[in-house]
Amino acid sequence: MAAAQRAHRPPVGEPVLDRAFRLLASFGPADRSLSLTSMSVRSDVPKSSALRIARQLVACGALERLEDGDFVVGLRLLEIASLAPRGHGLRETALPYMEDLHVATGQHVLLAVRDGSEAVLVERLSARGAARVLYRVGGRMPLHATGVGLCLLAHAPSSLQDHVMAGDLSLHPENRSLTPNQLRTTLAAVRRDGVAVASRPDPSPMTSVAAPILGPRDEVIAAISVVTPSADVDPIALRPAVTAVCRAISRAMRAG
Amino acid sequence: MAAAQRAHRPPVGEPVLDRAFRLLASFGPADRSLSLTSMSVRSDVPKSSALRIARQLVACGALERLEDGDFVVGLRLLEIASLAPRGHGLRETALPYMEDLHVATGQHVLLAVRDGSEAVLVERLSARGAARVLYRVGGRMPLHATGVGLCLLAHAPSSLQDHVMAGDLSLHPENRSLTPNQLRTTLAAVRRDGVAVASRPDPSPMTSVAAPILGPRDEVIAAISVVTPSADVDPIALRPAVTAVCRAISRAMRAG
DNA sequence: CAGGGGTGTTCCAATGAGTGGCACAATTCG
DNA sequence: CGAATTGTGCCACTCATTGGAACACCCCTG
């Protein structure tokens, strides 16, 4: 009997919004457009529900639908996201200074903020034709393995530092891992020097020099780094430029 | 009886997601952080519901909450929005070329796409210290009144052109309006010349020269313009630069 | 320091929006 | 031309969603 039961469990009863965001989250850099079923399986939302919700999202402008039926992230989201103080808000005042740094050095320039135990790349100016792009705007990167990451981590609450130490400290390109003590030493150096220097040998040897941007109450709210081929210049030579620009941005934020 | 009824109407029965997006939409350039009640009244969602939904949005990362209890648009939204093909996707390939144009001319450079009967500003490089900023990234602007707008409108489906003609054709700074015929003539010229030129006398006389970016099937998917103080240079002199850059981007998109 | 207006917050009964399995149509594929 | 996979419509069941009322707080101001 029970077996034949129609059951019809509309069950688990999961917050509506969660599902919607899971659908949105199923997109990725490699999959900018997805079919309904792809979204459905990736976000683990039944097909019928996925369709219904996706349609509502289209109505809101959060998604757009192509002629072939596939879904794409919509412009409306950009519109709203551009109001995020820690995103485009920050970017707006920082960008001109980043450009200065960009033309002065001719290298990649990165702007990132911390979100939980990761760094989010808010803006990136790429050296023309230079080495492959490592991270994309809107993407996340580990705190322990990048210049901006180290910078943000060094000035984060110690509870978070502990949490990161306890986590995964592997360095991706090379196949080794940091020990918590190595990291602790590095962070101390970052705090002392006011800049973070990180190197990465892999695809091509790159070195990044990062400095923090301070908010109104002298708390670290973001970090900027210049990423150069290690062979190109002495990274130390970049230190004055990066710190100077970061101080300028910090001042501009206060004024803004 | 009925009178004493607690009623308790959970009534209108409005799609959940709509409310959530109305809450998000209540933010604006001038109000990057809002209190619960502000959001509640702006989006016309009862306070209790607003709180419940806002909390869920915080859980999803779409909103963040400051120490003082105010809400702000969250980073997660930037993360997702950065996957919008017509937003950051387009931006990613266009930005280097825009920079070229920026340093070559020393003027504002704008990148916009059409969304319905408006243009959305996807990227903006500002001339340092130059005239006040007219539009912000993620903001919307009318199709009939700006260089990029005219460019996008000229190549839009005629049904949309008609719709715009029937709508509001006022020019904001100066207090006059276009007639549909004036606009029609302008659009014809834009299609003929391959560039759109728009002037705006108000805060300070500015002229913008815009050209279209073409997609894989030669449809217009975006437009780029250079905005200069009218007195500075003969706008016509910018035409080759703008068109050349737009063709380069179109080609890069195809290759991409 | 009682009082008033302003927050954000918790509570709760009533109900309709959301649910997802199933069946169907239109493709594409082998 | 079946077989598999797509997007879609249907619909009875029910639980997440609903919003008014009451509460706990600040801030002011009189």
Size of interface A-B (CB pairs under 8 A): 160
Give the model's confidence band at B4: pLDDT under 50 very low, under 70 low, under 90 confident, else very high: very low
Residue A85: its chain B contacts at CB < 8 A? 32-33, 72-73
Q: What is the pLDDT of residue B6?
A: 46
Distance (Å, whole) CA A190 – CA A154: 7
A203 confidence band (pLDDT: 50, 70, 90): confident
- For residue B200, name the pLDDT band (cuts at 50, 70, 90): confident
Mean pLDDT for A31-41 is: 95
Q: State the SS3 of B32-59.
A: CEECHHHHHHHHCCCHHHHHHHHHHHHH
pLDDT (tens digit per residue) in A57-102: 999 999 999 999 999 999 999 999 999 999 998 999 999 999 999 9
- The Cα–Cα gap between A180 and B167 comes to 64
Checking if the pLDDT of A211 tops 70, the result is yes
On whether the CB atoms of residues B138 and A82 are closer than 8 A, the answer is yes
The top-scoring range by mean pLDDT among A111-125, A130-144, B92-106 is A111-125
Mean pLDDT of B78-93: 94
Phi, psi of A96 (to 5 degrees): -55, -40
Distance between CA atoms of residues B69 and B73, nearest Å? 13
* Range from A168-177, A185-194, B123-132 that averages highest in pLDDT: A185-194
Q: How confident is the model at residue A12 (pLDDT cuts 50, 70, 90)?
A: low
Burial B147-157 (b: 16+ CB within 10 A, else e): bbbbbbbbbbe
Q: Is B153 within 8 Å of B164 (Cβ atoms)?
A: yes
- A138: phi then psi, degrees, rounded to nearest 5: 90, -10
Token match 């450009």: residue? A99
Torsion angle, alpha carbons of A88, A92, A94, A95, to 10:
100
At A33, list the tokens. 């457009």
Confidence of residue A1 (pLDDT cuts 50, 70, 90): very low
The distance (Å) linking the CA of B52 with the C1' of D19 is: 11
Distance from CA of A121 to the nearest CA of B (A): 9
pTM over 0.75: yes
Look at residue A13 in the predicted model and tell me its pLDDT: 62
CA angle (A135, A140, A144) in 5-degree steps: 95
Strand C positions within 7 A of protein Cβ atoms: 6-11, 13-22
- The pLDDT value recorded for residue A7 is 47
